[in-house]
Amino acid sequence: MKIEFKHQQSAHCENGVISNLMRYHGFDISEPLAFGIGSGLFFCYVPFIKVNHAPAFTYRALPGIIFKRFAKRVGIKIKREKFKDPKLAKVRLDENLNNNNPVGLQVGVYNLVYFPDDYRFHFNAHNLVVYGKEDQTYLISDPVMETVTTLTDRELEKVRFAKGAFAPKGQIYYPVDFPEKLEIESAIVKGIKHTCKDMLAPMPLIGVKGIRYTARLIKKWPKTKGVKLANHYLGQIVRMQEEIGTGGGGFRYIYGAFLQEASGILNNPELEVLSKEITEIGDLWRDFALEASRIYKNRSAQVDAYVKVATQLEHIADREETFFKKLKKAI
């Protein structure tokens, strides 16, 4: 069984799954539009969740939330299931493929055999599309890969039932009902308002305040954690920014593309101007990552080095606070 499914590479997995599944069903939704409408842009310091023996830093909404928000705002319905029994999970997957219905899956990265070794770590919030099966091999459209690929029956089961934080539990999801016309204009406005609310929230661990809180932690880590652990934690920030799910800088670029597209749809030139501003902020995130990587790769023990990158992060927080206040007014 093989569904005529068009694979299109994207910068981020969940956005790519949304865009590719929507295109399969006849709706031309770009990756940036899916991301912006789904209010994917976020920041949160999550000390109670450990990834690779360090606290988590997320630059996006929780796994599955982007598609859930997108669907609700444009007027489609999606079905999502989790399983305890791998056999039942396989049956449900095969049923959909037999009905010519490609599906999204949440999987763990560590055992994805087509990923380069350097990118295979314990992270369970990756998304891909299964669009067919030949004998005991599943046909995979992974949005972050240039071309389609495959996984054997056992390989797919292993990643669908990976253990640890955000364990996917065989999760499967797909659209089941569509309106005649998607509510794109109102969905864009709702998506932007939600992102502004998140990033300007008066809570210490999320949004702009979360970025500032992280900057203060960086300054303290060499003394409170020791240089070795401070370097590991700093590396975690960069890893989750640049490698896990695209992250900080990359998400700002996607959001800039979203605002540019939204400007045309809503006939709002101010969004075009703001798209350039968030792209510049994305560059600042990349500069921060570069400086931070120099510290932990060189095992620097100089406190001034940590203060420098923390100051960069504080500047980013200032720029983002100004940006999201202007965006809130513009919409």
Q: Which residues of 172-202 are buried (b: 16+ CB within 10 A; e: fewer)?
A: bbbbeebeeebebeebbbbbbebbbebbbbe
Token pair 């500032």: residue: 212
Among candidates 103, 173, 115, 186, which has minimal Cα distance to 144?
Answer: 115
The more confident residue out of 195 and 58 is 195
pTM of the model: 0.91
Contacts of 232 (CB under 8 A, 6+ apart): 53, 54, 296
The more confident residue out of 178 and 120 is 178
Arithmetic mean of pLDDT, 13-34: 95
Query: What is the pLDDT, as a whole number, of residue 12?
Result: 84
CATH number of this structure's domain 184-330, picked from the four choices 1.10.3470, 1.20.120, 3.30.360, 1.10.10: 1.20.120
pLDDT in tens, 196-251: 999 999 999 999 999 999 999 999 999 999 988 989 999 888 887 876 655 667 89
- Cβ(162)–Cβ(51) under 8 Å? no
Arithmetic mean of pLDDT, 10-25: 93
Q: How far apart are CA 165 and CA 145, in angstroms?
A: 24
269, pLDDT greater than 60: yes
Q: How far apart are CA 43 and CA 60, in angstroms?
A: 6
| 45 DSSP assignment | E
3-state secondary structure of 104: strand
Among candidates 12, 9, 65, which has minimal Cα distance to 246?
Answer: 12
CATH number of this structure's domain 13-37+77-177, picked from the four choices 1.25.40.340, 3.30.410.40, 3.90.70.10, 3.65.10.10: 3.90.70.10
List, in sequence order, every residue forming a beta bridge with 140; answer none if it has no partner: 130, 149
301, pLDDT greater than 60: no
Average pLDDT along the chain: 92
Domain ranges of the chain: 13-37+77-177, 184-330
3-state secondary structure of 56: strand
Query: What is the pLDDT, as a whole number, of residue 262?
Result: 98
19, pLDDT greater than 70: yes
Query: What is the pLDDT, as a whole number, of residue 116?
Result: 83
In angstroms, the Cα distances linking 45 to 34, 171, 203, 248 are 24, 25, 11, 13
Arithmetic mean of pLDDT, 36-48: 93
Arithmetic mean of pLDDT, 10-39: 94
Token pair 């999201």: residue: 324
pLDDT in tens, 99-142: 999 999 999 999 999 998 877 777 788 999 999 999 999 999 99
322, pLDDT greater than 70: yes
Query: What is the pLDDT, as a whole number, of residue 275?
Result: 98
71, pLDDT greater than 80: yes
Arithmetic mean of pLDDT, 301-308: 80
Query: What is the pLDDT, as a whole number, of residue 294?
Result: 87
49, pLDDT greater than 90: no
The more confident residue out of 288 and 300 is 288
